[in-house]
Amino acid sequence: MSHSESKARVVVTRRNFPEVIAELEPVFSLDHNADDTLWSPAELRARAANAQALYVVASDKVDGALLDAAPGLKMVATGSVGTNHIDLEACRARGIAVTNTPDVLSEATADMAWTLLMAAARRVTESERWLRAGLWQRWAWDQFLGQDVFGSTLGIIGMGRIGSAIARRARGFGMQIVYTNRSPAANELELGASRVELSELLRSADYVMLVLPYSPASHHLIGAAELATMKSSAVLINIARGGIVDDVALALALKKGQIAAAGLDVYEGEPALHLGLLECDNIVMTPHIGSATRSSRVGMAMLAAQNLLAWQRGEALLTPVH
Ligand code: 8YV
């Protein structure tokens, strides 16, 4: 067996940062998708067939079919905090370790949540499109009137690390904070936040911020019925996962003026988009870039790599999911 064959084989599904690859390359036999080809599930299965570890991202599905095709698999490191793309039960049953990348992305993602909130509230992208189209001929009192942010009520659905980071920022805007979470947030007092029922949050919040993991329980948590109970001046922001919002219902609610606006970073079935959303001028849309600052993304990518290196050395994993 040559030296390189004795190294554990790791499939790196997406083009990664050079400094991260430089950490992995001396230790592992890498199958790095350096040119960022879009691998089909079948292609990924074929590449995983003789791999001991996978280094994936949130858009790679790690399901039973992939695990069945990779009998030598011992470790899955995902460069994401979310793990809904991984069949954790199936991994556990096969003794495959799973790690994710919490914390390193929290502040950048909270910044992005606020970017979408402010941009949607004040119609930033809508008015920019209008301006760039050469439609600005005169100033008017009622041009692009938006929603107040200062002193309003923020409803946070999912008060985990990112939700708390969003709440901390809200204090500077003099906001009331209401939230839902499985359990009371430890820093509730410090954040000045009150835990309420979802129905009350939807009724009272000016801004409804989704920051919870996707699971069968959160599938279409916000659909037609929920949107109907929100204020007509409310703004919905989703930086969590597509599928938590029913995109078809959201587009209809925005067209009917049931709510004022939305800020979306994630979509059901992304990168495909529901056309109804594209037709709404009152949505600020970004392509799943919540964590996309250089330091956050390199931090996530490096943390995933460090988990792989710890696994290879037989050490405790830094951020195990189970
Ligand atoms: C990732 C994310 O950038 O961490 C997550 O769960 O959704 C984003 O921060 C993206 O999913 C790549 O894995």
Tens of pLDDT along 15-70?
Answer: 999 999 999 999 999 999 999 999 999 999 999 999 999 999 999 999 999 999 99
Catalytic residue among 270, 279, 294, 313: 270
pLDDT given at position 226? 98
Q: pLDDT confidence of 182, banded at 50, 70, 90?
A: very high
What CATH class does 106-285 carry? alpha beta
Task: Please name the residue that has the structure tokens 């940062």.
Answer: 17
Catalytic residue among 161, 203, 274, 288: 288
pLDDT given at position 6? 87
Q: What is the pLDDT of residues 262-292, one digit of tens each?
A: 999 999 999 999 999 999 999 999 999 999 9
What 3-state DSSP class applies to 11? strand
What's the rounded mean pLDDT across residues 296-314? 98
pLDDT given at position 1? 40
pLDDT given at position 3? 47
What 3-state DSSP class applies to 170? helix
Active site residue 241: yes
What is the value of pTM for the model shown?
A: 0.96
CATH 3.40.50.720 intervals, the chain: 9-104+294-313, 106-285
Alpha helices by DSSP H, listed for the chain, are 3-6, 18-24, 41-48, 64-69, 88-93, 106-121, 124-132, 161-171, 188-191, 198-204, 224-229, 247-256, 275-278, 294-313
Q: Report the mean per-residue pLDDT for the chain.
A: 97
Alpha helices by DSSP H, listed for 172-242, are 188-191, 198-204, 224-229
pLDDT given at position 322? 80
Please tell me the residue having the least CA distance from ligand 1 atom 3: 291
Q: Look up the CATH number of domain 9-104+294-313.
A: 3.40.50.720
Ligand 1 atom showing the smallest separation from residue 292 Cα: 3
pLDDT given at position 5? 56
